[in-house]
């Protein structure tokens, strides 16, 4: 990959601009073929130093909070969409300064804020309602927006057709890291339940969870899914993936600090699952490491753990061709999305540096964090 990972400070996230551009080109081709609009979901990837590049390909951003909306407005300068389970009243006047679309999670929220939206004189803001089709193929409950008693979206039994005046679109989000066959089955359920209301809409937002840039992703089925709604109802279509933009574009470089032995070899790193890759504990999943494998591939096996006091701060068991030693650097793959946005300073552990690589400039350190960043979060 001609990136000199060994030269980086650790821990450090690094995004390969070449891989990011490749993903953006795939997403742009979907827009070109269907006329849909694809937005960057900032909850998945908010590295704003690359927003000028992202803005060359995508239509804008979607946000989940005031701060994300402001970041997208200031750093991307294109369309800004917002959705939250509930909006904070004291923040709403500022939020609408940044937004072009606002999606509400309930009709009560729509009733509460619609006058503020309508009376906004600076620009026309389009509004939507999030619906819950009560259908999802996500097996991990923490990521399933349609599990029983979910707080996300309006079910058909709670839908209020007589309150749609001023609503421009419907939004649904039912997917997580899934292929387009799931989307095709989902939109048929959405159409069956909410089709009579889609007829009255200007747009439909298909939410996120679309793994469009994954190597095995079926783009042709995605195209058919988008055109299904466009052709049947004449509506505009939005998609808002976060992960697909940054999928397989970034790495986390960590250093071995010590090797201890307690029934097996345990390597303690300066990167932490709890602090720097929390999805390893939440999902859970086992990230790949360059030049590492399983015990049947390589002879030297280690349990990799973080440098915090949390007993469960364990990344996983990995095997290597050669024994690890303090000072060795390990490169974790696919660490651009849901890592930088979720990291934290538990135990006072520092945040990883952020770097970018492109062929013209090589490695460029974008940001390094210091004691003041930890201190200023606390009081």
Average pLDDT over residues 353-360: 97
Q: Is the pLDDT of residue 284 over 90?
A: no
- In a domain, residue 20? The reply is no
User: Where in the sequence is the domain holding 355, given as residue range(s)?
Assistant: 5-13+250-335+343-376
pLDDT at 228: 96
Residues 224 and 360 in one domain: no
Under the banding of pLDDT at 50, 70 and 90, the label for residue 111 is very high
**Count of CB atoms situated within 10 Å of the CB of 26:** 18
**Residues 71, 201: one domain?**
yes
Res 87: pLDDT: 98
The helices-and-strands tally (H runs, E runs) of the chain is 11, 16
Q: Is residue 9 very low, low, confident or very high in pLDDT (cuts 50, 70, 90)?
A: very high
Question: Distance between CA 206 and CA 83 in Å, rounded?
Answer: 13
Q: Could you tell me if 120 and 231 lie in one domain?
A: yes
Q: Is residue 21 part of a domain?
A: no
pLDDT band at 256 (very low <50, low <70, confident <90, very high): very high
List 333's β-bridge partners, or say none: 251
- The verdict on residue 27 lying in a domain is no
Query: Is 1 a residue whose pLDDT tops 80?
Result: no
Closest Cα to residue 341, out of 9, 6, 63, 17? 63
Please compute the mean of the pLDDT values over residues 266-283 and round it to a whole number.
Answer: 95
**pTM for the full predicted model:** 0.95
pLDDT over 90 (residue 140): no
Q: Of 201, 219, 246, which residue constitutes the final position of a domain? A: 246
Phi-psi region of 95 (alpha: psi -120 to 50; beta: other; left: phi over 0): alpha
What integer pLDDT is reported at residue 283 of this predicted model?
84
175, two tokens: 């997917």
Does one domain contain both 236 and 278? no
Per-residue model confidence (pLDDT) at position 221: 98
How does residue 139 score in pLDDT terms, banded at 50, 70 and 90? confident
Residues 267 and 231 in one domain: no
A 10 A CB-CB count for 339 gives 23
Mean pLDDT of the chain: 97
Does 167 score more than 90 pLDDT?
yes
pLDDT value at 287 more than 90: yes
Overall number of domains in the chain: 2
Distance (Å, whole) CA 153 – CA 172:
7
Residues 79 and 59 in one domain: yes
47 and 184 share a domain?
A: yes
For 212, the 3-state DSSP assignment is coil
Average pLDDT over residues 183-193: 97
Mean pLDDT of 50-74: 98
Q: State residue 24 phi and psi, 5-degree precision.
A: -65, -35
CB 26 within 8 A of CB 5: no
Tokens at 298, concatenated: 């390589």
9-23, 156-170, 281-295: segment of lowest average pLDDT: 281-295
| Residue 189 pLDDT class (50, 70, 90 cuts) | very high
CA-nearest of 225, 210, 176 to 39 is 210
Q: How far apart are CA 301 and CA 292, in angstroms?
A: 9
Say yes or no to pLDDT of 121 above 90: no
């Amino acid at each position: 990959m001609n990136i000199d990972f060994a030269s980086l400070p650790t821990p450090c996230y690094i995004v390969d601009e070449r891989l990011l551009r490749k993903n953006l080109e795939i997403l742009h081709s979907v827009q070109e073929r269907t006329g849909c609009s694809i937005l960057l979901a900032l909850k998945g990837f908010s590295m704003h130093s690359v927003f000028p590049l992202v803005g060359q390909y995508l239509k804008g951003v979607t946000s989940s909070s005031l701060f994300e909306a402001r970041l997208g407005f200031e750093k991307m300068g294109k369309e800004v969409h917002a959705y939250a389970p509930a909006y904070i009243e004291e923040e709403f006047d500022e939020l609408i300064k940044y937004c072009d679309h606002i999606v509400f999670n309930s009709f009560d929220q729509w009733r509460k804020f619609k006058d503020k939206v309508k009376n906004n004189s600076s620009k026309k803001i389009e509004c939507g309602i999030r619906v819950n089709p009560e259908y999802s193929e996500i097996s991990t409950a923490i990521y399933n927006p349609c599990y029983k008693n979910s707080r996300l979206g309006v079910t058909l039994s709670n839908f209020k057709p007589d309150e749609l005046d001023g609503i421009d679109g419907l939004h649904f989000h039912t997917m997580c890291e899934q292929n387009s066959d799931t989307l095709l089955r989902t939109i048929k359920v959405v159409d069956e339940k909410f089709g009579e209301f889609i007829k009255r809409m200007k747009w439909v937002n298909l939410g996120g969870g679309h793994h469009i840039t994954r190597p095995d992703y079926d783009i042709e089925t995605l195209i058919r899914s988008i055109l299904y709604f466009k052709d049947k109802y004449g509506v505009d279509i939005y998609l808002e993936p976060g992960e697909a933009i940054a999928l397989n574009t970034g790495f986390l470089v960590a250093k071995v600090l010590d090797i201890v032995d307690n029934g097996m070899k345990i390597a303690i790193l300066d990167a932490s699952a709890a602090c720097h890759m929390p999805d390893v504990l939440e999902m859970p999943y086992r990230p790949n490491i360059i030049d590492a494998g399983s015990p049947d591939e390589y002879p030297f096996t280690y349990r990799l753990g973080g440098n915090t006091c949390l007993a469960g701060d364990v990344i996983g068991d990995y095997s290597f061709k050669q024994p690890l030693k303090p000072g060795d650097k390990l490169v974790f793959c696919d660490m651009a999305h849901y890592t930088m946005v979720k990291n934290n300073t538990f135990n006072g552990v520092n945040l990883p540096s952020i770097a970018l690589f492109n062929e013209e400039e090589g490695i460029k350190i974008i940001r390094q964090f210091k004691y003041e960043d930890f201190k200023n979060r606390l009081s």
